[in-house]
Structure 1
Amino acid sequence: MSDHFSGPAVLGDPAVDITDFYAFASPERPGNLVLIMDVFPMATSQSYFSDVVTHRFRLRPLTRSAGSVTCGAAEETIDIRFSDVPEETAVQKGHIVTSNGREASFVVGKPFEQDGLRVFAGLVSDPFFMDVEATLRTDILGKLSFNTATNTVQFRDVLSIVVEVPVAPIVERFDGVTLIAAISEIVVTRRGKPIRLERLGRPEIKNVMIANSARDPRTRGVELRDLYNREDAFALSREYRSLYESRLDANLAFWDGLDGKTAWPSGSDGRHPLRNLLMDDFLMLDLGQVFAPGSFLDIERALIDNRPHESAGGRWLDDDILDELLTLLANGGRGERLGDGVDAPTKPASPTFPYVREPNRRADLPLPEFLRS
């Protein structure tokens, strides 16, 4: 389910549960980058952003070499914090600070703009779409079981943070490099050091690629997602990296075999060909390209084919990430397009800022089946 409920730890505090992360060239203002972090699955009008954590976007330059990329050390960060909500009011305020010296305050629920910087935070319709139960059936039964075409998050709401910034200062900071890596994080600071509670780069890495512990003898029965959430996406720990690799190898091989064919033969050591690419768990974007919907995984596929990429990459709000991922994993994108039959969110994205859509405010929705069970 993208990154909703991505581990036992975040179940105890939905305000620190990142449900989705989007990064794309602005469709409204060429030369600008849009970053969106959604939190708090199944949020309501009574839901608020946590006032004890920092919501952080991190960007780094990428150097491409043959079929891989390497992250540079330079980094651009954007931090957003929120105030407590006084008892006598329902108004929550936010504050944004960027590593290039920008700083501003804003009110939740109201779009804010200052000198090219745009910010919005508030309750919105959940832009994610997926048949979660069908994905779980497929994972458990070991065969394609996408026969219900039901959007599990239909009419659900989340809390969303939308930031739009000019591209030029970022490219200048990265010495002219336009190919970048982007992630979202939630951190708390203790004794001057950040403690990561949750992070998200590509969707479904934790809930599909890492969640199932039954197939890998080395990590069978071990819940890795909380541990993975605390890792720095740009510097995985040497102590635990091999555990994530082993889990990925086993589960990637499973998803590859769902169509009865092998698109990605594993090496003699069990290494799956997509392991390293997906272990670099961040969205890839080219800031020199213009907005184009449906570009999710375009840069990754170009890396696999060892050819130049032709789009901005990243992830747009309406990109059908489940279909793209499933097709890539099962047949390498060279066969039938596979999917769950759910092709659009509850409310399609807006082409203008803040791009997310007004909340549904539905109080009559039952708990999803996968949570009840």
Structure 2
Amino acid sequence: MDITDFYAFPSPGRPGNLVLIMDVFPLATPQSLFSDVVTHRFRLRPLTRSDGSITVGAKEHRIDVRFGDVLEGGAIQKGRIATSDGREASFVVGTPLEQDGMRVFAGLVSDPFFMDVEAALRTDMSGKLSLNTAVNTVELRDVLSIVVEIPFDQIVEQFGGATLIAAISETVVTRRGNPIRLERVGRPEMKNVIIANSARDPRTKGVELRDLYNREDAFALSNVYRPLYESRLDTNLSFWDGLDGHTAWPVGPDTPHPLRDLLIDDFLVLDLSRPFAPGGFLEIERALLADRSHMTAGGRWLDDDILDELLTLMVNGGQGERLGDGVDAPTQPASFSFPYVREPNKRADIPLPAFLRN
């Protein structure tokens, strides 16, 4: 049930359509199945930009994907998709479906994520930039992927004409009639890179905040726990800023880190009025920080080098050299045709990375 990644971008080949991708089940194999007890949910909300910040609206568009059980000895898993504007369809895992302008695919694919995870962990633990190994941790690995492509004209109309939107993915279970959020993913590596380390902030030292943060509504953080998230972010963002020996983001004794309020609202930001273009990850956020107009649709394309963008923003604010882990592409580059993800590698001979074995 683990969400490994989330992507959102305008369709490369069908203007007027939005693509949402949720990957689950790390290190999946041809025998892996989608969970039949959770709802895989995409949520969209309108955003308003004002005075260098963005405000989330109350209206919401949801897309729910559920999967059935597979009988013992069976090989076919079926799924069903339902949107909050009334679109519904049934599909078979592994087979693309197009119905009423909506496209759906779910199945085993080559993991599109790329990152030297061990190098990021080593940097975080040592306090020194240690990004010289250039090893894609998920090279030749597979995941289970859910790909949904939908027309967005009705969504924009529902949002009162707003084309700037927030997008998140999450998994939900229902217990005694009440929904329970298990996990959510907006921007990549918010939890595993920025929030994870609990050793630096005296206020939250030794506290595992990620489980709490995971269960929060991305659009309405708890007033009880928000001060803890803010304290952890202030401390860890200042740590990453100092890795090059220079201060890109000055912080006063009683002022928050300049990136805190932007990143704590953990969702991808997209502008549906802009056409598809690779490399838009964090471009809208950088424009907000610089108080300028954004130039791209933002969001996240499958081949966007998210760690390089995130590191460069945190460490030098984009005012110095571009930093990175030396891993610049996934195992297989994305396709510009639906379902955009690539065929699985089906490799069973790859050992776990050393840091996972330990």
Task: Name the TM-score, length of structure 1 as normaliser.
Answer: 0.95
Counterpart mapping for 1:256-267 below 5 A: 256-267=241-252
One-letter code aligned to 1:289? R
Deviation digits for residues 45-70 of structure 1, max 9, x if unmatched? Answer: 11100000000000000000011000
Q: Provide the rounded CA distance (Å) in 2 between the counterparts of 1:267 and 1:111.
A: 53
Q: CA deviation at 1:270?
A: 5.0
* Aligned match of 2:181: 196
Counterpart residue number, 1:41? 26
* Matching residue's letter, 1:277: L
- Structure 2 spans left out of the alignment, 5+ residues: none
Structure 1 runs of 4+ aligned residues shifted over 3 Å read: none
2:3 is aligned to 18
Q: Which residue of 2 aligns with 1:244?
A: 229
Q: C-alpha distance in 1, partners of 2:254/2:31?
A: 51
Instruction: Identify which of 6, 10, 13 aligns with 1:28.
Output: 13
Q: Secondary structure at the match of 1:221?
A: coil
> Does residue 272 in structure 1 map to residue 254 in structure 2?
no
Q: Unaligned 5+ residue runs, structure 1?
A: 1-15
1:338 is matched by which residue type in structure 2? L
Aligned partner of 2:304 in structure 1 is: 319
Deviation at 1:153, TM superposition (A): 0.5
What TM-score does the superposition give when structure 2 sets the normalisation length?
0.99
Letter of the 1:59 partner, please give it: L
- Pick from 143, 146, 156 the counterpart of residue 171 of structure 1: 156
Q: Which amino acid is the alignment partner of residue 130 of structure 2?
A: S
Q: 1:182-261 residue pairs with structure 2 within 5 A?
A: 182-261=167-246
- Contact map agreement 1:183 1:199 (CA 8 A) in 2: yes
% identical aligned pairs: 78
- DSSP 3-state at the match of 1:186: strand
1:137 maps to which residue?
Answer: 122
- Residue 256 of structure 2: SS of its match in structure 1? coil
1:344 counterpart (329, 332, 336): 329
CA–CA distance in 2 between the matches of 1:221 and 1:190? 30
Q: Root-mean-square deviation (CA), in Å? A: 0.7
What is the CA distance between 1:266 and its match in structure 2? 1.2
Aligned residue for 1:338, secondary structure, equals: coil
- Match of 2:233, SS state, is helix
**Cα deviation, residue 129, structure 1:** 0.3
Distance 1:97 1:320 in 2: 31
Distance 1:100 1:324 in 2: 35
Q: What residue number does 2:100 align with?
A: 115
Q: Structure 1 residue 221: deviation in Å?
A: 0.7
SS in 2 for 1:118: strand
Say whether 1:105 aligns with 2:90: yes
The answer for the alignment partner of 2:282 in structure 1 is 297
Partner of 1:70: 55
Q: Is the 1:18–1:199 contact (alpha carbons within 8 Å) kept by the matching residues of 2?
A: yes
| Conserved? CA contact 1:249–1:270, under 8 Å | no
After superposition, what is the alpha-carbon deviation per residue over 1:119-161, rounded to whole angstroms, capped at 9, x for unaligned?
Answer: 0000000000001111111111111111111101000000000
Deviation at 1:372, TM superposition (A): 1.4
* Residue number among 315, 320, 329 corresponding to 1:330 in the alignment: 315
Structure 2 distance, partners of 1:267, 1:167, is: 43
CA distance in 1, matches of 2:336, 2:252: 44
What SS does the aligned partner of 1:343 have? coil
The residue type paired with residue 266 of structure 2 is: D
Q: Show CA shifts across 1:280-325 (max 9, x none).
A: 1000000111000000001000000011111100000000000000
Query: d(CA) in 2 for partners of 1:123 and 1:177?
Result: 35
Q: For 1:47 and 1:205, how far apart are their aligned partners in 2?
A: 27
CA distance in 1, matches of 2:255, 2:351: 42
Partner of 1:59: 44
Equivalent residue pairs, number: 358
SS at the partner of 1:238?
coil
Which amino acid letter does the alignment assign opposite residue 91 of structure 1? I
Q: Which residue of 1 aligns with 2:79?
A: 94
